[in-house]
Amino acid sequence: MENQMENQEFLADKIRTQEYQLNMGPQHPATHGVMRMILQLDGEEIKNVEPVLGYIHRSIEKMCEKSSYKQIIHLTDRLDYLSSHMNNEAVTLLVENALGIEVNDRIKIIRTIIAELTRMASHQLWWGVMGMDTGALTTFMYAFRDRELINEIMEETCGARLTMNYNIIGGLRYDIHDNFVKRVKEFIVHFKEKLPEYDNLLSNNVIFRKRTEGVGIMTKEQVIAYGMNGPTARASGFECDIRKKLPYSAYGMVDFEEVLRTEGDAFARYKVRIDEMWQSMNIIEQLIDKIPEDDFRMKTKPIIKLPKGDFLQRVETARGDFGVYAMSDGGKNPTRFKFRSPSFANLHGLNKMSENTKIGDLVVNFSTIDVVVPDIDR
Amino acid sequence: MSYFKDIFNAVKTLLTGMKITGRYFFVNLFTRRDVITVQYPDNIDTLKMHDRFRGEVIMGHDENNMHQCDACTICENACPNGTIEIIWDKEKNPETGKTQKVLLNHIYHLEMCTMCGECIEACPSDAIEWGQNFHHVTRDRSNLTKSLNRPESILNPNFVKSKK
Amino acid sequence: MILELLNQFMPAEVAFYVELVIIAVVYLGVFALLGLFLVWMERRVAGFFQLRLGPNRRGPSGLFQTVADALKLVSKELTATEGRDKFLHGIAPYFVIVAALMALSLIPFSAELQAFDINLGVFFVTAVTSIEVVGIFLAGWASNNKYSLIGGMRSGIQMISYELSIGMTIVTMTVLAGTIQLSEIVEMQRGGWFIWTGHIPAFIGFMVFMIAGTAESNRTPFDLVEAESELGAGFHSEYSGMGFAYFFLAEFVNMFIISAMAVTLFFGGWLLPFEIGADIPFVGAIIFVVKTLSVVFLMMWFRWTFPRLRIDQLLTLEWKYLIPISMVNIVVMAILVWLGLTF
Ligand code: SF4
Ligand code: SF4
């Protein structure tokens, strides 16, 4: 044993190795858009990851300060485009709470159903891309098969597939389409049948297990220290679901479970999202038959002015805790508008996760924190 | 012993995965039943979008080439992106003798539109609405700047302005 | 056959060289067509796996799509990085393609259709295919790109390791066959395919061979060399136009060669069971190609189902599982042959 140690030291003296930098992105298949990471590598081993942001910065916060509250809503579609409905909801809830508008149950329930559908669509896309990042290209199309049905429902009711822009201050832009309830029910039946397929294809696959289990472990303390949230943090046992903690819309009326795991590795992060899809279906099933007859829109003033002061609204998007903060001087536009995006917070943990792992693990870790780059850069 | 058990389980999970993909392969090979893609340019004539689909903003005209826009410019102000420009003139109404605004051109820059719907929401006369056209491909950017009112069209004299 | 024909109207020496040239040209044609066909097949098969149709516009079932793609690649400008090693960068694709071509010449399509039937067949194939790693390594090194370099290093590790278990599986089968000439190995299987006569060890050998063969031809789940989501395109990131096309075609032809070897060693080459259709000319070649394409399909099936391994897991799989298994397998096979327990 000692001999071996000596030998190694001797070799290390003779063969000089050197760390090198690798520039991953901004155009790289694994970076999900335009993000750049500077990797410090020792052979295949990662010593340091430094994300470089700003490649898709559009100064949305500044644009919001120039816009009226009605106009702000559609800008939030463009942050985390996969949770566009929840982003819209955050702004509408902020304004409604500030103005003291209480929307009726119909609006609340429809908003919640659409939010859960969006969450599922987002997780489906993530699952497909997760498979692709680990090399199983077929998962992507299977995920899109199921996601397409949600998109169809959205298109029929909201008029668009991705940037739905369905919430307006004081209600919804349109009433739900006549087919909505039927189609959602059909989708639930379809997806309950297909979700086990996801497990058989990827979650149980021995190669995938080996790639994710024990990779990128974050403890609960680390997760809290890095300010991570959403499914990524819940995989380490940190209870942070805003739907449970600060119920908004119709989440107070339903009974669902906050998915928690304790392992904190990549597989736990993966599994949390899969289980969240089951919970989303559970929520929708509870609500879909309970949509009361009522107006889909409350009366609001034509020009919306917030009272003087600051306001904060948090919602749970597919990626985690999305916060909107507005400072108003009583005028038509906010004087300061700030978003707290979950992807940005989650990205902080990437370096810690990837310490002393291989390049392949970085891709897995990056995929399991599930960031959307426009949400980071805004 | 666990060495062999590992191998056995690994092979089993791999075969489960192969069973799923294999089933889809053979179904698609013989029947094309599970194929989810559509053959896009081929079905362009039959492809119908949902009624609410937001493809572009259009202005409705009736059979007499009349529209309902009285050039109030509310939509222009409601738009977050400066997509709409209203070009108008003052003209004397031959019947009543009053001067009123007349729409010359309702310019719509499709390339800047985010399909947010604020203009349609704001329009007091319901003059503009959503069009379901999605095929905006063009070789020249300038084709995307459109005039929404048709040439020679006039304001419908007997429309009722809603009180939005 | 060709030689006799030529001998009628030219001197024997000239005829010999002319024959060589003809065969070379024929094989180049076969190589290109095979490559294009396999690329088309892969895309079409992938399409069906992924609930799509795959290429379906150019020609019947999109058969000419890959031809069009090849034409596009030919007409493309060759670009390269600054500071590359010009000579090595230029020569690397030829290593790969020449190795693939040489191996192809040994494949016994049927009793008559084999360009180069030497008595060292099996060894020659393994020897020649291992030249390929040199080409890939050179491409990675000479490109002056870190992604290519990582890809090249990975290929070195991967292909050299997996060569071992391929070699050992081949030895297992030659123990059963008693010869290493490819055409004779096939002839030995007239009584029954080796996968049947060799039963358990042959079956294990087949599994090992398929795994190692997939790794040899750098395909998912072992495509670390060009791992798309990690390295972009790996060792051929910096190749454009035909340089890229050579690597691409060679990869597919290699897949064909591995499958052809599997068919020769385990599934009786051009033979059908019970001597069906043994005397119709050229039916052997068709049977052989059909069998090979089935094995190729199996490899495609792997590719479109499995995720990719990580580099250390790749080595664990080889050194902890495949090599011990194939070593034991040789011994088992030898004992079986010794005791006459084969069918
Ligand atoms: S849809 Fe929105 S962006 Fe487009 S013209 Fe109307 S207000 Fe402007
Ligand atoms: S389209 Fe409507 S809002 Fe715009 S100018 Fe005409 S009447 Fe006014």
Question: Residues A347-369: pLDDT tens digits?
Answer: 888 888 888 888 888 888 888 88
pLDDT of residue B164: 46
Number of domains in chain C: 2
Within this chain, do residues C3 and C100 fall inside the same structural domain, yes or no?
A: no
Q: Model pTM? A: 0.86
Query: Rg for chain C (alpha carbons), in Å?
Result: 21
Asked if C48 and B37 come within 8 Å (Cβ–Cβ), the reply is: no
pLDDT of residue A351: 85
> Is C62 in the same domain as C120?
no
Asked, for residue A351, whether it belongs to a domain, the answer is yes
Are residues C133 and C71 located together in one domain of the fold?
no
- Cβ-contact C303, C217 below 8 angstroms: no
* Residue C161 and residue C206 in one domain: yes
Indicate whether A15 pLDDT > 80.
Answer: no
Q: Using the 3D structure, point to which of C53, C75, C97 is the last residue of a domain.
A: C75
Percent of chain C having pLDDT more than 90? 0
Lowest average pLDDT, out of B23-27, B142-146, C53-57, C337-341, goes to C337-341
C29 is in which domain, residue-wise?
A: 1-75
Mean local confidence (pLDDT), A29-42: 81
Predicted confidence at residue C31, as pLDDT, reads 81
Separation of B127 CA from ligand 1 center, angstroms?
Answer: 14
Residue of A nearest to B16 (CA): A200
Domain boundary among C35, C52, C75: C75
C310–A210 C-beta distance less than 8 A: yes
**In the predicted model, what is the mean pLDDT of residues C267-291?**
73
- Cβ-Cβ pairs closer than 8 A, A with B, add up to 70
Q: What is the mean pLDDT of residues A307-327?
A: 87
Residue C281's pLDDT band, with cuts at 50, 70 and 90, is low
Strands A20-24 and A36-42, how do they pair? antiparallel
pLDDT tens per residue, range B13-44? 888 888 888 888 888 888 887 888 888 888 88
Residue A33 pLDDT more than 80?
Answer: no
In the complex, which subunits touch B with 3 or more CB pairs below 8 angstroms? A, C
Contact between chains at B25 and C49 (C-beta distance less than 8 A): yes
pLDDT band at C275 (very low <50, low <70, confident <90, very high): low
Residue C310 and residue C166 share a domain: yes
Q: Residue C1: is its pLDDT beyond 60?
A: no
Question: Is residue A315 included in any domain, yes or no?
Answer: yes
Alpha-helix runs per DSSP H in A21-99: 60-66, 69-76, 84-99
Mean pLDDT within C137-163 = 84
Q: Is B108 in the pocket of ligand 2 (CB under 6 A)?
A: no
Assign A53 to helix, strand or coil.
coil
pLDDT at position A8 over 70: no
> Mean pLDDT in chain B?
81
In a domain, A16, yes or no: no
Chain B nearest CA to C114, separation (Å) = 33
- C57/C94 same-domain check: no
Site to probe by mutation for ligand 2, drawn from B57, B66, B69 as the one with most ligand atoms within 8 Å of Cβ, is: B69
Q: Which atom of ligand 1 sits closest to the CA of residue B84?
A: 5
Query: What's the gap in Å between the CA of B42 and the closest CA on chain C?
Result: 11
**pLDDT tens readout for residues A243-294:** 888 888 888 888 888 888 888 888 888 888 888 888 888 888 888 888 888 8
Count of structural domains within chain A = 1
**Are residues C65 and C98 both part of a single domain?**
no
Is A177 close to B52, i.e. CB distance below 8 A?
A: yes
> Could you tell me the CATH number of the domain that includes residue A138?
1.10.645.10
Ligand 1 within 6 A of B148 CB? no
Mean pLDDT estimate for chain C: 81
Buried/exposed code over C54-76 (b: 16+ C-beta within 10 A; e: otherwise): bbeeeeeebbbbbbebbeebeee
Q: For residues C322 and C343, what is the distance between their CA atoms, to the nearest angstrom?
A: 25
Q: Is B104's C-beta closer than 6 angstroms to any atom of ligand 2?
A: no
Minimum-distance ligand 1 atom for the alpha carbon of B120:
6
Instruction: List the chains bordering chain A where 3 or more Cβ pairs fall under 8 Å.
Output: B, C
The helix (run of H) or strand (run of E) holding residue A231 is: helix A230-234
Q: Answer yes or no: is A54 within a domain.
A: no
The arithmetic mean of pLDDT across residues C261-275, rounded, is: 77
Instruction: Calculate how close chain C gets to B26, using CA atoms only, in Å.
Output: 8
Burial B93-106 (b: 16+ CB within 10 A, else e): eeeeeeeebbbeeb
Among the listed residues C132, C310, C138, the one whose alpha carbon sits nearest the alpha carbon of residue A208: C310
Q: Looking at the structure, do residues C57 and C101 belong to the same domain, yes or no? A: no
Enclosing domain of residue A129:
59-375
pLDDT for residue C234:
77
Average pLDDT over residues A68-81: 85
Q: Does ligand 1 lie within 6 Å of residue B59's CB atom? A: no
User: Is residue A205 assigned to a domain?
Assistant: yes
CB-based contact C129:C254 (threshold 8 Å) = yes
pLDDT of the residue at C303: 86
Q: What is the rounded radius of gyration, in angstroms, for the C-alpha atoms of chain A?
A: 22
For ligand 1, say whether the CB of B149 is within 6 Å of any of its atoms: no
Q: Does some domain include residue A32?
A: no
Tell which residue, A49, A1, A3, A4, has the closest CA to residue A22: A49
Contacts of B54 in chain A (CB under 8 A): 159-160
Q: What mean pLDDT is predicted for residues A7-29?
A: 75
Residue C2 has pLDDT above 60, yes or no: no
Residue whose pair of structure tokens reads 């009736």 in the numeric block = B62
- Which chain A positions have a beta carbon within 8 Å of C145's beta carbon? none
- Tens digit of pLDDT for each residue in C14-51? 777 877 788 888 888 888 888 888 888 888 888 888 88
B36·C321 Cβ contact <8 A: no
* A residues 133-192 closer than 8 Å to C (CB): 133-138, 140-142, 145
Question: What is the torsion angle, in degrees rounded to the nearest 10, for the CA atoms of residue C244, residue C247, residue C252 and residue C254?
Answer: 180
Do C71 and C84 belong together in one domain? no
- Identify the pLDDT of residue C119: 75
Ligand 1 pocket check for B119: Cβ under 6 Å: yes
Q: Please report whether residue A19 resides in a domain.
A: no
Residue of A235, A223, A212, A23 lying closest to A130 (CA atoms): A212
Identify whether residues C269 and C251 lie together within a single domain: yes
Q: What is the per-residue pLDDT across C69-124, written as a single tens digit (0 to 9) for each?
A: 888 888 888 777 777 777 888 888 888 888 888 888 887 777 666 666 677 778 88
Q: Percent of chain A at pLDDT above 90? A: 0
Instruction: Tell which of C24, C54, C75 closes a domain.
Output: C75
Average pLDDT in the A104-130 region? 88
DSSP A170: T
Please answer yes or no on whether A145 and C51 come within 8 Å at the CB atom: yes
Q: Which ligand neighbours the alpha carbon of B86 most closely? A: 2
Whether A218 maps to a domain, the answer reads: yes
Contact of C54 with chain A, judged by CB distance below 8 Å, is answered with no
- Cβ(B57) – ligand 2 distance below 6 Å: no
Please check the confidence at residue A2 and state whether its pLDDT lies above 60: no
CB of B148 within 6 A of ligand 2: the answer is no
Q: Are residues C92 and C1 in the same domain?
A: no
pLDDT digits (tens, 9 = 90+) for C172-230: 888 888 777 877 777 777 777 777 777 777 888 888 888 888 888 888 788 877 777 77
B129 C-beta neighbours (distance < 10 Å), count: 11
Q: What is the distance, to the nearest Å, from the Cα of residue B101 to the centroid of all Cα atoms in its chain?
A: 29
For residue B88, give both structure tokens: 């108008």
pLDDT at position C274, please? 65
Mutate to test the pocket of ligand 2, among B72, B83, B84 (most ligand atoms within 8 A of CB): B72
Residue A235 token pair: 């995989």
Mean pLDDT, chain A, integer:
85
pLDDT value at position C164?
86
Please name the member of A75, A160, A206 whose beta carbon is closest to the beta carbon of B10.
A206
